[in-house]
Amino acid sequence: MLSSIGIPGLILILTIALVIFGPKKLPEIGKAAGDTLKEFKNSARDLTDESKEEKTEK
């Protein structure tokens, strides 16, 4: 999906985000998004580990 945007599109999106949220708010938004993705990844890993354990027990 990101490959179809291209560099000019990505710069445009970042510029619009900077105008809307301001330079002080962007790092906070980025950190929150990163923490959310990290938590999602850990949850998905836990679920796959549990399913693998159930399969090996049977």
Give CA–CA dist 45/47, Å, rounded: 5
Q: Chain-centre distance of CA 21, in angstroms?
A: 18
DSSP state of 58: -
Query: pLDDT by residue (tens digit) across 35-54?
Result: 999 999 999 999 888 877 77
Query: pLDDT by residue (tens digit) across 11-27?
Result: 898 899 889 988 889 88
Are the C-beta atoms of 18 and 26 separated by less than 8 Å?
Answer: yes
DSSP state of 1: -
How much is the CA Rg of the chain, to the nearest whole Å? 18
Give CA–CA dist 22/28, Å, rounded: 11
What is this structure's pTM? 0.58
